[in-house]
Amino acid sequence: MEKNSISDLTEWKTVKNHFEEIKSINIEKLFAKDNKRGKTFSLYEDGIYFDYSKNQLTEESVDLLVKLAKKVSLGEKIEDLFNGGKVNATENRPALHTVSRDVFSDKSVISGTDVEQIVSSTYKKMQKFSNGIVSGERKGGTGKRIRNIVNIGIGGSYLGPLMSYCALKRYGSEGINQYFISNLDRTFSENVYKKLDPEETLFIIISKSFSTKETMMNAGSAVDWLSNRLKITNPIKDHFIAITAKKDNALAFGIQEDNVFEIGEWIGGRFSVSSAVNLSLMISLGREKYDRFLKGFHSVDNHFRYAPFRRNIPVLLGLIGIWNRNFFGRSAAAVIPYGEELKYFTKYLQQLEMESNGKSVDINGKSVLIDTVPVIFGDRGTNAQHSFFQLLHQGTDIIPVDFIGFARSGKGRDEFHDMLISNMIAQSEALAFGVEEEKLRINGRDEKIIPHLVCRGNRPSNTMVMDELSPYFLGKLIAIYEHKVFVQGVIWNIDSFDQWGVESGKRLSEKIFSELNSEKPDVKNHDSSTNALIDHYIKLKNKD
């Protein structure tokens, strides 16, 4: 297999040479050299303050990274993304998630196309349907009002709706409960069913192909559960909704045509949170607040598309990630939102970033010789401070951190929120500047314990502070990370929109499933470890 040559670019080598020159200058010295560094390396854009000053880089570093981005035609590829170019190279199709939140514009680049027709008609259908649920006009098969929405999906069809619903729950209407099922473990779905009145329950089945094994097995289980409890001829008719790109498959499942909401093949699951996949969020928020959610995305889409790279938050976030990953060799990155409502945000980013850019082959089928996406992990603050922050401060690995906070809580003036954000700011300062031996001695600490108290600092972080966690700002936050992923995919020359590794595991699981359920299993089709595992499982499950 041919090798990827990005590291052979003159611009890449120039960044590498510059890195060798400044890598020994720590963050504290950079601040000492420039007492306005905090201002120089920050920007404010429509309610978002982005501070990247606590990274081990200089203005020249940023300039050289921007030159690298221009060399690989990032600007042109951003235009390809928005104009419907086939940026998903291996599947020969565009990635038009940005169109799903461009429903308010009269100047869409896809005006008059099938894409516009699908997005526009589906958006209007979502409005009508959600209004019907909230008003009580849309009822279940026995005439009762719908009070429970159960989302069944997996991957982006689960994490996106779950994350955004939990983040914005306090903005939602009361009287409608939402639940989410993804895992094949039956205890998961059964625990949800225990909370439901079947007459008042609507299932939303989300699957782009409407053939995803986990989703369809859970959907079948939901049909069985409902059929056993409702004395009506066709429980699917008024209690099941499909969101899919394969309408025929949904109809074959038994879902009424009026209850099928179409998404295009050009929206990937992990980029689908602003599409019909999030119908349940529109039901929760209502049209006006849901529109604010979409407008948050759209505002960042325009910022990403038109702002110069030096003043472009997604571009800078992506380039700083390249700097830390490829030049400093950081193999992991943490994302810490300071807000309980964002408890699923890092899980959502794990899929968005690692499924998109977890690749070792470039778009031309050549091996990638440079590292791609780091391991993404995290949790909300301050919980994280009492678990893995010990590693961040004193561990042998240096792990860059993104801190995310909000200037206002949903409670007005609140000393708890002040303490929450003071922790966030303090952690970024402590990671950057550490605790020195000399200061510990001056403070009279026991000499024997001083080595254990020292924190070396020089640990990089970015901090984003937004006005508040509202539908508008959540849309902005998600879009920033979506576009960061695209920036890094362009630099690494990989396809951020396919996921063939996931497909490989799916195919093998189907084969093993058939073997586990064969009357006379011949467990000799795999390696010795896999054969033994299958054999052991079969013996245990058939044990009296």
pLDDT digit string, tens, across residues 147-199? 999 999 999 999 999 999 999 999 998 889 999 999 999 999 999 999 999 99
Cα 492 to Cα 4: distance, rounded to the nearest angstrom: 9
Query: Cβ atoms within 10 A of the Cβ of 273, count?
Result: 30
Query: Cβ atoms within 10 A of the Cβ of 19, count?
Result: 17
Please count the CA atoms within 13 angstroms of the CA of 422 that sit on its side-chain side.
6
- Which of 259, 290, 321 is the C-terminal boundary of a domain? 290
The average pLDDT across 89-98 equals: 94
CATH number at residue 210: 3.40.50.10490
Same domain, yes or no, for 463 and 526?
Answer: no
| C-alpha distances in Å from residue 48, one per residue of 168, 171, 473, 502 | 18, 21, 9, 35
The average pLDDT across 405-433 equals: 92
Domain membership of residue 295 (yes or no) is no
* Measured torsion, CA atoms of residues 289, 290, 296, 299, in degrees rounded to the nearest 10: -110
Beta bridge mates, 151: 180, 204
Q: What angle do CA 82, 85, 86 make, to 5 degrees?
A: 130
pLDDT of residue 4: 54
Residues counted in the chain = 544
Same domain, yes or no, for 340 and 439?
Answer: yes
Same domain, yes or no, for 128 and 235?
Answer: yes
Report whether pLDDT(489) > 90.
Answer: yes
Coil, helix or strand at residue 124? helix
Report whether pLDDT(412) > 90.
Answer: no
pLDDT band at 232 (very low <50, low <70, confident <90, very high): confident
Domain count, the chain: 3
Lowest average pLDDT, out of 272-281, 474-483, 497-506, goes to 497-506
Domain membership of residue 160 (yes or no) is yes
Query: Cβ atoms within 10 A of the Cβ of 437, count?
Result: 13
Report whether pLDDT(518) > 80.
Answer: no
Residue of 4 and 369 predicted with greater confidence: 369
Same domain, yes or no, for 159 and 217?
Answer: yes
Same domain, yes or no, for 238 and 333?
Answer: no
- Which of 457, 475, 492 is the C-terminal boundary of a domain? 492
Same domain, yes or no, for 116 and 251?
Answer: yes
pLDDT of residue 150: 98
Query: With left for phi above 0 and alpha for psi between -120 and 50, is residue 427 left, alpha or beta?
Result: alpha
**Domain ranges, residue 472:** 6-71+307-492
The average pLDDT across 50-74 equals: 98
The average pLDDT across 378-383 equals: 96
Domain membership of residue 300 (yes or no) is no
The average pLDDT across 302-316 equals: 98
* DSSP structure string for 503-534: HHHHHHHHHHHHHHT-SS----SS-HHHHHHH
Cα 245 to Cα 242: distance, rounded to the nearest angstrom: 10
Active-site positions read 355, 386, 506
Six-digit token pair at 417? 């929120």
pLDDT of residue 525: 79
Residue of 448 and 254 predicted with greater confidence: 254
| C-alpha distances in Å from residue 288, one per residue of 104, 131, 293, 295 | 12, 11, 9, 11
Domain membership of residue 365 (yes or no) is yes
| Angle at which helices 287-306 and 471-492 cross, to 10° | 30
Q: What angle do CA 330, 336, 338 make, to 5 degrees?
A: 160
Six-digit token pair at 203? 């299932």
Query: With left for phi above 0 and alpha for psi between -120 and 50, is residue 276 left, alpha or beta?
Result: alpha
- Which of 290, 322, 347 is the C-terminal boundary of a domain? 290
pLDDT band at 138 (very low <50, low <70, confident <90, very high): very high
Domain membership of residue 13 (yes or no) is yes
What is the pTM for the complete model shown? 0.95
Q: Considering the chain, what is the average pLDDT of its residues?
A: 92
Domain membership of residue 78 (yes or no) is no
pLDDT band at 438 (very low <50, low <70, confident <90, very high): confident
Q: Tokens 């970033």 map to which residue?
A: 353
Same domain, yes or no, for 118 and 266?
Answer: yes
The average pLDDT across 86-114 equals: 80
Same domain, yes or no, for 326 and 370?
Answer: yes
pLDDT band at 278 (very low <50, low <70, confident <90, very high): very high
Strand order in the sheet with 48-51: 42-45, 48-51, 461-468, 401-408, 332-337, 375-377
Six-digit token pair at 539? 């013996």
Domain membership of residue 301 (yes or no) is no
pLDDT band at 1 (very low <50, low <70, confident <90, very high): very low
pLDDT band at 380 (very low <50, low <70, confident <90, very high): very high
Domain membership of residue 298 (yes or no) is no
pLDDT of residue 103: 83
Same domain, yes or no, for 513 and 537?
Answer: yes
Same domain, yes or no, for 459 and 512?
Answer: no
Residue 478 DSSP label:
H
Same domain, yes or no, for 227 and 359?
Answer: no
Residue of 541 and 127 predicted with greater confidence: 127
Same domain, yes or no, for 153 and 109?
Answer: yes
Report whether pLDDT(544) > 80.
Answer: no
